[in-house]
Structure 1
Amino acid sequence: MQFIKCTREALLKPLQTVGGIVEGRQTLPILANVLIQKEKDKVSFTTTDLEIQIRTTADVGTGDEDCKTSLPAAKLLALLAALPGASTEVALNAEERKVVLSAANSRFSLSQLPAEDYPELNTSEMSTSFKVPAQNLKHLLQMVHFSMAQQDIRYYLNGMLLVVQNKKVRAVATDGHRLACCDDNSEIEFDGSIEAILPRKTVQQLMKLLPDTDAEVLVEIGKSQARFVFGDIDFLTKLVEGKFPDYNRVIPQNNDKTFLVNREELIGALRRAAILANEKFKGLRWIITPGCLKVQSANSEMEEAEEQIAINYDGPDLDVGFNVVYLLDVLGNLKNNEVRFSLSNAQGATLLTMPDSELFRYVLMPMRI
């Protein structure tokens, strides 16, 4: 029985949408599959890793009979991607224990698992609901995602804090060595206050899926889940339990030693100096004097590097060390020509901001060189 008939591109698009969370190695074999459900000409595609569930729909169904099955997601995606021509006509046919993918002179027989065995996440009660433009939400995620921890024993750091307060949305991420905080300038129609920690994988997938348009995203947040609905996509995720650190206490308020520096010039200097830095610690020494920033590095082989950059600084001399990776992460993510550094002393936290905006703040702890 033929249940899907469309162009290669029309079938590939929804599969690419839901396929991002499918892992190669699974404890349950069926989690490597995509659940395909056909009702008339509407076909829904669903994947889950038991923490996240993504569902999307497409008008690619054919035939009067409804059906559902689960097929190996990676293999189906790879076969479609390997077929030539975006407008090539493809079809899926159910044949007893197999599903056949056919296209022009090609025919592929895929094993299927019972759709009834596919573990779908149950949606819990959502206490909070608001709408935000897709490009605004995507911008928030992009501005802080690199500061999330990876496999930290403090599990609540392995994600991003989403804050809704005073009709504004804020994103915060930290790994204990640096912290990124970004506010959305637009107002939302929600008067309450709520905080939720989104898992690292959720943030990464949303950055890929959210469009760069002002189309609205419906955001629903409950006690243990969050849901994002945009376009044809329904994105459900579990939340990270635990209490996120009080980030407001971490952001310096009285750093009075400030200077502006050209972002591209600083990136170039950091990359060159990093070549001769200690490979394990990646530490760079900054010597800040009136009108000049010296970036120095050295390694165990007695090799040294020094870069000099002109800056508009007229305060006291400072000697401070930074992890070059943490600097390059944030500088490479920004787009403006100049960035502002605000320091208190060699031991205190450094604040990096944009000269023309107070919406983004990046806090970086110094390191001993």
Structure 2
Amino acid sequence: MRFSLQREVLLKPLAQVVNVVERRHTLPVLANLLVKVHAGQLSMTGTDLEVEMVSRVAVEEPQDGESTIPARKLFEIVRALPDGSRVTISQNGDKVSVQAGRSRFTLASLPANDFPALDEVDATERVAVSEAALKELLERTAFAMAQQDVRYYLNGLLFDLRDDTLRCVATDGHRLALCEAALDAAPAGGKRQIIVPRKGVQELQRLLEGSDRQLELELGKGHIRVKRDDVTFTSKLIDGKFPDYEAVIPIGADREVKVDREVLRAALQRASILSNEKYRGVRVEVAPNLLKISAHNPEQEEAQEEVEADTHVDALAIGFNVTYLLEALGALREEFVVMQLRDANSSALVRGAESQHARHVVMPLRL
């Protein structure tokens, strides 16, 4: 095996796959990348047995072959080389040589046959979606995933396919984020729900660039695969049933507050400085054309903010975890947002004033 290419051209696909490789691993070969050269193309594969990333790039002076190379060492070497360097990588027995200018490195390799492959995805549905649309779906929802919750099905992101719409939904039991995008064509299988684990979602977020390129999503019984011209991402799915999230979205929350998103976000951030560090509670009072925000802590310190708002609401006071509110506002894009409220004991629905395709539900907090 041998190939040669510019440092910058090699660094991008290398950075894509190296994040998947676990720093702690049970199999020594999992610390390595599977590197293959075939028909003038280099493919590099990294996996932790849950998530797999395959990156492809055309190379010069190719000699077909395959080997495994220590992932982080190769990445650190290539990253540390001078800009514009020409990198040549070749295999000699059980060692791999990396050369660039006057620099030369020799790395230990392991046989390519030892490298584990994820099971083949037996796709039951195939969906085409633009990269920009999928990136937006993840950005607006992934932050609400649970972390190490005993309800393991919450430690991931729901992909809900229904007719010609793809919805992404995340919840940790205290708040919920939902975003949807229209598909050009409905999947042949109709409706389908899958849960992608947290690490898979995070790697997919790193990978997506927000271009107008079309991605192909393949949904299998136990895997999801995302294909782009230069990279293939595969993740195992969480085997579980996601809760009925539509039952959580408030119905009849008829008290609407329309407010400038950035003004509200800044006021909440200031008030949060003096909120209780443990509960992060803020009190939101709705008055005619005004939103009053207050916070206090055990040291008897207090913050008060007033924000102009379009309210149409009688007096109403409700407590929230300020972090959940701030993250919901941060995931929206519109200039004005609408908070739909019912009473002090009911969840609030937060959405853009002009759009329903991204919605956030935040449970109330007793103060």
TM > 0.5 fold call: yes
In the alignment, what sits opposite 1:298?
Answer: 296
Q: Distance in 1 between matches of 2:62 and 2:115?
A: 24
Query: Which of 112, 118, 126 is 1:115 aligned to?
Result: 112
Deviation of residue 294 (structure 1)?
1.1
Matched, 1:215 2:213: yes
- For the pair 1:143 / 2:140, whether they are aligned, the reply is yes
Aligned to 1:345: 343
CA–CA separation in structure 2 for the residues paired with 1:125 and 1:5: 35
Deviation at 1:187, TM superposition (A): 3.4
Which residue does the alignment assign to 1:51?
A: 50
Matches of 1:63 and 1:201, distance apart in 2? 34
From 321, 324, 333, give the equivalent of 2:322. 324
My pick for the range that moved more, 279-288 or 242-251, is: 279-288
2:99 match: 102
One-letter code of the match for 1:237?
S
The DSSP-based 3-state class of the residue aligned with 1:353 is strand
> Match for residue 225 of structure 1?
223
Comparing 341-350 and 201-210, the one that deviates more: 201-210
Distance 2:303 2:246 in 1: 36
Find 1:128's aligned residue among 125, 130, 139: 125
RMSD of aligned residue pairs (Cα, Å): 1.3
Q: Aligned ranges for residues 37-76 of structure 1 at < 5 Å? A: 37-60=36-59, 62-64=61-63, 66-76=64-74
Q: Which residue of 2 aligns with 1:264?
A: 262
CA apart distance, 1:159: 0.7
Superimposed CA distance per residue, residues 23-43 of structure 1 (whole angstroms, 9 cap, x where no aligned partner): 211122211111101124221
1:13 aligned partner: 12
Normalised TM-score (structure 1): 0.96
User: Is 2:152 aligned against 1:155?
Assistant: yes
User: TM-score under structure 2 normalisation?
Assistant: 0.97
* 1:63-100 residue CA offsets vs partner (Å, 9 max, x unmatched): 44x22111111111111111111x21111122233212
> What is the CA-CA distance between 1:190 and the residue it aligns to?
2.0
Pick from 291, 309, 312 the counterpart of residue 311 of structure 1: 309
SS state at 2:259 partner: strand
Secondary structure in structure 2 of the residue aligned to 1:184 = strand
**CA displacement at 1:116 relative to structure 2:** 1.0
Alignment partner for residue 176 of structure 2, among 170, 176, 179? 179
DSSP-derived class of the 1:358 partner = coil
**1:194 pairs with 2:218:** no
Change (3 A) 1:63 1:261: closer
Structure 2 counterpart of 1:35:
34
Per-residue displacement from partner, 1:81-123 (whole Å, max 9, x unpaired)?
Answer: 11111x2111112223321211111111211111111111121
Greater alpha carbon shift after TM alignment, 114-123 vs 93-102: 93-102
Counterparts of 2:227 and 2:39, CA distance in 1: 23
Distance 1:227 1:282, change over 3 A: same
Show the counterpart of 1:252.
Answer: 250
Partner of 1:362: 360
- CA gap of 1:4–1:148, structure 2 versus 1, over 3 A, is same
Give 3-state SS (helix, strand or coil) of 2:59's partner: coil
Q: Which stretches of structure 1, 4 residues or longer, exceed 3 Å deviation after superposition?
A: none
Matched residue count: 366
Q: CA deviation at 1:154?
A: 0.5
Q: 1:23 matched to which residue of 2?
A: 22
Structure 1 unaligned regions, length at least 5: none
| Alpha-carbon shift at residue 342 of structure 1 (Å) | 0.4
Deviations 1:333-366 (A, max 9, x none): 2221111000000000100011111111111100
**Residues 1:229 and 1:272: Cα distance change in structure 2 (over 3 Å):** same
- Three-state SS of the structure 2 residue aligned to 1:187 is coil
Residue in 1 that maps onto 2:271: 273
User: Counterpart of 1:323 in structure 2: which amino acid?
Assistant: N
The unaligned stretches of length 5 or more in structure 2 are: none
Q: Distance in 1 between matches of 2:68 and 2:117?
A: 12
Give yes or no for contact 1:148–1:200 (8 Å, CA) kept in 2: yes
DSSP-derived class of the 1:31 partner: helix
Deviation, 1:124, is 3.6
Offset from partner CA, 1:124-162 (integer Å, 9 cap, x none): 421111211111111111111111111111000011111
